[in-house]
């Protein structure tokens, strides 16, 4: 999860992600397949474009993988660019933003933002690489 925002992206790039769903999918696809595509089911490395934006379909077994699968953005019920905004701010933790504030900024329901924050917290908790300080600052933000 924090892998997604590991590299310090420049502000211009970040701003682009927050306004364009397509840029988010492209960003995740580049991250996911930066070493090339390998089908999760059969190991084939040839693919063609899938049905959803930036997804890839295995040419052998026809299984399709979306750039969001295996990430917290999978099955997200609101625009991925808004999810990126929340995830980025939570991960970077530069600003203590309440779910009410996210809801106001992104025109989402507070509950939606809260649920997504919980999802991020669970994902972050599942990571061993996180230091105790990072964990506690995330905990603090989510409470």
Residues that bind Zn ion (CB under 5 A): 39, 41-42, 44, 58, 60-61
Q: Which is closer to Zn ion, CB of 65 or CB of 72?
A: 65
C-beta of 56: minimal distance to Zn ion in Å? 10
Name which of 47 and 73 has its Cβ closer to Zn ion. Answer: 47
CA dihedral 71, 74, 76, 80 (to 10 degrees): 70
| Cβ neighbours around 126 below 10 Å, total | 9
Cα dist from 82 to 49, 58, 60, 74, 85, whole Å: 25, 29, 35, 13, 5
- The residue among 55 and 137 lying less far from Zn ion, judged by its C-beta, is 55
Q: How far is the CB of 27 from Zn ion (least distance, A)?
A: 24
**Shortest CB 48 distance to Zn ion, Å:** 11
Strand-pairing partners, residue 64, are 57
């Amino acid at each position: 999860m924090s892998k997604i925002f590991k590299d310090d992206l420049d502000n211009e790039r970040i701003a682009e992600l927050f306004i364009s769903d397509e840029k988010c999918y492209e960003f995740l696809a580049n991250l996911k397949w930066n070493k090339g595509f390998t089908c999760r089911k059969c190991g084939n490395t040839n693919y063609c474009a899938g049905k959803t934006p930036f997804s890839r379909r295995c040419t052998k077994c026809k299984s399709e993988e979306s750039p969001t699968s295996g990430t917290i953005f999978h099955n997200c019920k609101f625009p991925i660019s808004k999810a990126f905004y929340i995830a980025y701010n939570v991960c970077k933790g530069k600003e203590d933003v309440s779910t009410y504030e996210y809801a106001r900024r992104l025109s989402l329901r507070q509950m939606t933002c809260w649920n997504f924050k919980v999802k991020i917290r669970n994902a972050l908790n599942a990571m061993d690489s996180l230091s105790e300080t990072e964990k506690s600052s995330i905990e603090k933000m989510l409470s």
